[in-house]
Structure 1
Amino acid sequence: MESQPSAKALHNRINADISQLLQRFENIMATATVDNPSYTSTAVETYQLDVESTALIRAAEDILALTRTMKETWLFGKLDTLGEDEHDVERREKLENDVQAVQKAIEEGVLAKLSPAQ
């Protein structure tokens, strides 16, 4: 299994994919606005539009693949995009202490004494 990408690597990939998508769209618009009536130039423009539209579709697919990678990383990986502040650390420690207290109470049978007999 490959390693999870870092937040910086994902951010760089987002920027590259967006740039690629915009560049392909600009190329299509520039080609579409050329007005030349010759058959040769029309054939070249048609081919260029075909190439650019294929590249535009590929750029959109890359963005979709990126969103899937980001979802997988957030769900299954340990991508730390926001970091943990002091409040989060204290909250996590308090939850761990509460869990240990409940576990200890269960082991000692305290909860069985508190619940009504069945």
Structure 2
Amino acid sequence: MESQPTAKALHNRINTDISQLLQRFENIMATATVENPSYTATAVETYQLDVESTALIRAAEDILALTRTMKETWLFGKLDTLGEDDRDIQRREKLEKDVLAVQNAIEEGGLLKVSPEK
């Protein structure tokens, strides 16, 4: 079974895929703006546009595959993108103490005193 990707690996893949997509688009735009009346140059540019457009489509497919991987990873709970810093840990511990205090007060009957019905 394939191991789950880490958040850092996914970020690296996002950056790589985006840079590939942008590079291919820039290459297409650069090739399309060249004006050369020669048939040979036109044929070469046509071939280059074909290659770059195919690579652009491949880069877009890679991004789609990445989004699918990210969805699967999030759905199955193996990706920790949020993490906990010291502030989150302290807040969680304080919340747990408060919950225990309320629970103890309820169990001892000190928090809720039920008045008898008349």
Code of the aligned partner of 1:77: G
CA contact (8 A) 1:4 1:77 kept: no
Q: In structure 2, what is the equivalent of residue 32 of structure 1?
A: 32
Q: In structure 2, what is the equivalent of residue 66 of structure 1?
A: 66
CA contact (8 A) 1:24 1:56 kept: yes
Higher helix share: 1
Q: In structure 2, what is the equivalent of residue 79 of structure 1?
A: 79
Q: 1:58 to 1:91 in 2, by over 3 A?
A: farther
Q: Name the TM-score, length of structure 1 as normaliser.
A: 0.73
Q: Which runs of 5+ in 1 are unaligned?
A: 99-118
Q: Which runs of 5+ in 2 are unaligned?
A: 104-118
SS at match of 2:26: helix
Q: In structure 2, what is the equivalent of residue 14 of structure 1?
A: 14
Question: Runs of 4+ in structure 1 displaced over 4 angstroms?
Answer: 88-94
Q: In structure 2, what is the equivalent of residue 103 of structure 1?
A: none
Q: In structure 2, what is the equivalent of residue 42 of structure 1?
A: 42
Q: Name the TM-score, length of structure 2 as normaliser.
A: 0.73
TM-align CA RMSD: 1.9
Code of the aligned partner of 1:16: T
CA contact (8 A) 1:4 1:73 kept: yes
Q: 1:59 to 1:88 in 2, by over 3 A?
A: farther
Q: 1:63 to 1:19 in 2, by over 3 A?
A: same
Percent identity between the aligned chains? 85
